[in-house]
């Protein structure tokens, strides 16, 4: 626990070399928007914004040619030059802002460490529920550390390591920091969640300064709203009462949830970073519409193109969603005849063309991977038209009244019920933001909304984005990843619109968007209090879920804290004697084998995620279904699955058969744990092969071919 906490804290300043120094140096050299005359606080905002915009793409391109060492040397040089510039310039920064920023940054850092670092109690490690997704992010970061750019798919091996066909720019940055700061992939990834939060806060600050042009107190209200969720507490409490066990996340009451910002930053920082890049790219475009120097206009267009290219490499789903919103916005500009659409269209097309050129190497990678994965298979569609399932329509389709329609037209019934449940689901997910959005729309229809170009644009992105993510979904896997991630784009503008209203009420502005009637105050402040309570409960639940559930042996989670400690100890023993490029094989775990009807994650699924996170090496096949979607020949999957099932079948094959298995598929080490049927076997390879590392209930065998 202390190792991870200290290592993560060491990685936080190292990330400043990624998300502060490059942007500071570039903005200083270009004197972007009068950068050299700005106060230190404003310079820091633009330094982080420029760094977020270009660091992911720059690291990817440099990593392809010079590897992680090249990235590290560049970051080190840029950091030294930035320190020299900071030392030569006086840092004019008010004491009040300095303390407020220190408290916000320190509080967010402490929160992330509390949420993501395993809590150790003796020989037990209590993981956070976030580990379910964090495990894959850490494995991808380790893959970059071992194999470079592009990384090999760590979850699946078919003959030889295959390049990973996935949006992996974030993991390149994490790997570069891990190497630079001499910390583990996990520690670097935890620190990256902290910096993703910093990037989001900076984006809010820049939008409140340059987009809405608010005063200081209203800007802090917008930052505070990042930590307020919707009305999720109401359905979450209902689930807690009706279900036998707790859900691990307050958002899990919904099938396709709209996660609160802290939840997204902990679970998927790379998607949030993509949102930040898209929003910064749009802000650069917006700046070109104002009165700025011609050379600043050119550099802003260039930075916008770089930002959108970075966004695509961080999250294809977010970038695609933002592309749809941009196209809709440009058409809206034309229809509304704002008078500036010719310049906007030309600049937008220039930005899009620049992004495409910069992304060409990465696009060729993805195209090659898609052709290899789909060879001989039926063409698959990445997106489909479908109503977002916030409230589970399956709760109604099984009712006797719908029995005939469910048998004759199941898809029609399902989509109809989803549509009927969409508005109540949105009401629960959005809470105070939904109420303010409804009030603003009503005021706009009555002509009572004061004209404001920034507010009109934010309202357009909110409504258009909500429509897109409510009726368009991804269809690659069962999860609606597009809906989960792209919804953060309108969600950002929900936050700003709420701050617009609440700030006007708080500061008693006469030109605010909504009048503060007693009825509106009661509704908004009640939902705001509910959102704050939901955020607090959600944070407590993420951390306290496993300690609470492990106290009930009947739920099956009681062994996981001990498993986590023993597994990590065994792999640390393996690290001392085995090379990092070794291949490890273990029995595929069926996540549905012990899953209860009201559980999102089963005990065996959590155990499988712990294996993925702690192995730290190339895995032969980490999932029940081969992970060839991330890279590798899917044709070899059935043979690997069949042979692995035979290896771990009862009775155990001989040691000689296990050696042949390892020679055939290139594995050097085999894992055996108490979840396997072979645990405690007194014959076959579990007693014939040499044990390399072991802990009670967990063994690693050497199985190197001759």
Residue 90 confidence (pLDDT): 60
Identify whether 546 is part of a domain.
no
Is pLDDT of 532 > 50? yes
Helix residue spans in 95-232 (DSSP H)? 95-116, 131-147, 169-181, 185-206, 216-225
Domain span at residue 653 reads: 558-702
pLDDT at 165 over 90: no
DSSP secondary structure, 640-678, as one string = HHHHHHHHTSSSPPPHHHHHHHHHHHT--EEEEETTSTT
Average the pLDDT over 310-326 and give the result: 95
Considering the domain architecture, whether residues 510 and 615 belong to the same structural domain is answered as no
- In a domain, residue 186? The reply is yes
**CA distances from residue 220 to 216, 431, 636 in whole angstroms, order as listed:** 7, 20, 55
- The total of structural domains in the chain comes to 2
Whether 446 and 301 share a structural domain: yes
Pairing between β-strand 472-474 and β-strand 383-385 as defined by DSSP bridges: antiparallel
From 495, 516, 541, the end of a domain falls on 541
Give start and end residues of each alpha helix (H) in 410-517: 410-430, 432-445, 453-471, 481-486, 488-507
Residues 6+ apart with CB under 8 A from 103: none
| pLDDT band, residue 275 (cuts 50/70/90) | very high
**Which residue has 């590897």 as its token pair?**
67
Q: Token pair of 76, please?
A: 């080190």
pLDDT score for 464: 94
Residues 92 and 173 placed together within one structural domain of the fold: yes
Structure tokens at 158: 């078919």
Alpha helix (H) ranges present in 478-517?
481-486, 488-507
DSSP letter assigned to residue 632: S
| Residue 394, φ and ψ in degrees, nearest 5 | -65, -15
- Residue 406 in any domain: the answer is no
**Is residue 285 within 8 Å of 349, Cβ to Cβ?**
no
pTM for the structure as a whole = 0.94
* Domain-embedded: residue 581: yes
Residues 441 and 337 in one domain: yes
Is there a single domain that holds both residue 521 and residue 616?
no
* Statement: residue 190 has pLDDT above 60: yes
pLDDT tens, residue by residue, 53-83: 999 999 999 999 999 999 999 999 999 999 9
Report the Cα 324 to chain-centroid distance in Å.
Answer: 20
What mean pLDDT comes out for the span 591-597? 63
CA distance to 257, 261, 269, 397, per residue, from 480 (Å): 10, 18, 18, 20
Q: What is the mean pLDDT of residues 549-554?
A: 82
CA–CA separation, 179 vs 181, rounded Å?
6
CB 391 within 8 A of CB 421: yes
- Judgement on whether residues 440 and 470 belong to the same structural domain of the protein: yes
Q: Quickly state the pLDDT bin for 290 (edges 50, 70, 90).
A: confident
The per-residue pLDDT for range 319-331, each reduced to its tens digit, is: 999 999 999 999 8
Residues 201 and 274 placed together within one structural domain of the fold: yes
DSSP 636: G
Q: Between β-strands 583-585 and 618-619, what pairing exists: parallel, antiparallel or unpaired?
A: parallel
Report how far apart, in Å, the C-alpha atoms of 62 and of each of 59, 73, 171, 666 are.
Answer: 5, 11, 14, 31
The domain boundary, picked from 509, 541, 573, lies at 541
**Residue 426 lies inside a defined structural domain of this protein:** no
Q: Find tokens 């929160």 and name the residue.
A: 111
Q: Which residue has the higher pLDDT, 366 or 94?
A: 366
Q: Is the peptide bond prior to 112 cis by the omega test (within 30 degrees of 0)? A: no
Specify the 3-state DSSP secondary structure of 267: helix
Structure confidence by residue, pLDDT tens digits, 617-633: 999 998 888 888 888 88
Cβ atoms of 678 and 653 within 8 Å: the answer is no
706 pLDDT band (50/70/90 cuts)? Answer: very low
Q: Which is more confident, 380 or 18?
A: 18
pLDDT over 60 (residue 549): yes
Which of the two residues, 411 and 276, has the higher pLDDT score? 276
What's the pLDDT at 603?
A: 87
Whole-number average pLDDT of the chain? 89
Same domain? For 264 and 196 the reply is yes
The answer to which of 9-23, 545-559, 646-660 has the lowest mean pLDDT is 545-559
* Residue 376, pLDDT score: 47
Cα 596 to Cα 602: distance, rounded to the nearest angstrom: 7
Residues 28 and 132 in one domain: yes
Residue at a domain's end among 493, 513, 541: 541
Most confident of 93-97, 191-195, 233-237, 335-339: 191-195
- Among 320, 175, 199, smallest CA distance to 261 is for 199
Domain annotation covers residue 350: yes
Instruction: Indicate whether 634 and 517 sit together in one domain.
Output: no
Residues 340 and 303 placed together within one structural domain of the fold = yes
pLDDT of 627: 82
Q: Are residues 509 and 587 in the same domain?
A: no
Contacts of 128 (CB under 8 A, 6+ apart): 115, 116, 118, 134, 266, 542, 543, 546
Our separate counts of H helices and E strands in the chain read 28, 9
Mean pLDDT across 334-361:
83
Which range has highest mean pLDDT (233-247, 448-462, 530-544)? 530-544
586 inside domain:
yes
Mean pLDDT over 173-193 rounds to 95
Confidence at residue 338, expressed as pLDDT on a 0 to 100 scale: 56
Task: Give domain status of residue 409, yes or no.
Answer: no
């Amino acid at each position: 626990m202390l190792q991870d906490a200290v290592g993560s804290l060491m990685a936080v300043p190292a990330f400043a070399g990624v998300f502060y120094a490059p942007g500071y140096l570039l903005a200083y050299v270009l004197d972007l928007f009068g950068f050299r005359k700005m106060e230190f606080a404003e310079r820091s905002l633009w330094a982080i914004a420029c760094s977020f915009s270009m660091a992911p793409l720059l690291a990817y391109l440099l990593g392809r040619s010079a590897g992680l060492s090249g990235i590290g040397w560049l970051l080190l040089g840029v950091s030294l030059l930035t320190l020299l510039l900071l030392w030569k310039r006086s840092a004019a920064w008010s004491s009040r802002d300095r303390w407020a920023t220190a408290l916000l940054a320190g509080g967010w850092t402490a929160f992330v460490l509390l949420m993501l670092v395993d809590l150790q109690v003796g020989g037990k490690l209590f993981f956070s529920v976030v580990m379910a997704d964090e495990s894959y992010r850490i494995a991808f970061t380790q893959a970059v550390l071992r194999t470079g750019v592009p990384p090999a798919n760590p979850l699946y091996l078919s003959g030889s390591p295959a390049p990973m066909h996935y949006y992996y720019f974030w993991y390149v940055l994490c790997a570069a920091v891990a190497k630079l700061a001499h910390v583990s992939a996990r520690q670097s990834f935890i620190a990256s969640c902290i910096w993703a939060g910093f990037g989001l806060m900076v984006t809010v600050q820049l939008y409140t300064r340059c987009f809405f042009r608010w005063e200081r107190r209203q800007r802090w209200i917008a930052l505070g709203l990042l930590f307020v969720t919707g009305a999720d507490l109401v359905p979450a409490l209902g689930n807690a009462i009706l279900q036998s066990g707790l859900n691990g996340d307050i958002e899990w009451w919904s099938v396709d949830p709209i996660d609160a910002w802290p939840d997204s930053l902990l679970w998927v920082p790379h998607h949030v970073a993509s949102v930040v890049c898209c929003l910064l790219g749009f802000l650069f475009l917006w700046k070109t519409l104002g009165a700025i120097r011609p050379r600043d206009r050119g550099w802003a267009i260039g930075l916008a193109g770089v930002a959108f290219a970075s966004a695509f490499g961080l999250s294809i789903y977010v970038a695609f969603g933002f592309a749809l919103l941009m196209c809709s916005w440009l058409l809206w500009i034309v229809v509304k005849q704002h008078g500036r659409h010719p310049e906007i269209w030309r600049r937008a097309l220039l930005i899009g063309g620049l992004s495409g050129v910069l992304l060409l190497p990465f696009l060729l990678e993805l195209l090659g991977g898609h052709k290899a994965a789909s060879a001989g298979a039926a063409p698959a569609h990445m997106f489909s038209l479908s109503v977002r399932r916030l409230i589970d329509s399956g709760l109604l389709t099984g009712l006797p009244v719908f029995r005939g329609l469910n048998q004759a037209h199941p898809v029609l019934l399902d989509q109809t019920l989803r549509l009927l449940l969409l508005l109540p689901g949105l009401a629960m997910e959005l809470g105070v933001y939904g109420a303010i959005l409804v009030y603003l729309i009503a005021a706009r229809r009555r002509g009572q909304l004061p004209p404001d170009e920034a507010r009109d644009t934010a309202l357009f992105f909110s409504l258009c984005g909500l429509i897109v993510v409510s009726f368009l979904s991804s269809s690659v896997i069962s999860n609606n990843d597009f809906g989960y991630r792209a919804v953060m784009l309108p969600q950002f503008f929900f936050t700003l619109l709420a701050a617009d209203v609440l700030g006007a009420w708080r500061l008693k502005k006469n030109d605010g968007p909504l009048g503060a009637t007693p009825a509106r105050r009661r509704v908004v402040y009640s939902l705001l209090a509910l959102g704050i309570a939901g955020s607090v409960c959600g944070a407590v639940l993420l951390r306290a879920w496993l300690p609470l559930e492990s106290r009930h042996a009947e739920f099956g989670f009681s062994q996981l804290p001990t498993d986590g400690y023993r597994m990590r100890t065994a792999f640390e023993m393996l690290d001392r004697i085995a090379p990092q490029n070794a291949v490890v094989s273990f029995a595929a775990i069926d996540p549905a084998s012990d899953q209860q009807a009201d559980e999102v994650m089963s005990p065996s699924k959590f155990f499988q995620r712990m294996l993925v996170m702690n192995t730290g090496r190339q895995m032969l096949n980490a999932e029940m279904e081969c992970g060839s979607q991330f890279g590798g020949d899917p044709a070899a999957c059935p043979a690997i699955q069949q042979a692995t099932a035979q290896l771990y079948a009862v009775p155990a094959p001989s040691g000689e058969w296990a050696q042949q298995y390892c020679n055939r598929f290139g594995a050097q080490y085999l894992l055996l744990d108490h979840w396997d049927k072979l645990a405690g076997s007194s014959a076959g390879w579990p007693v014939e092969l040499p044990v390399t590392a072991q802990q009670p209930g967990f063994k690693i065998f050497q199985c190197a071919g001759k």
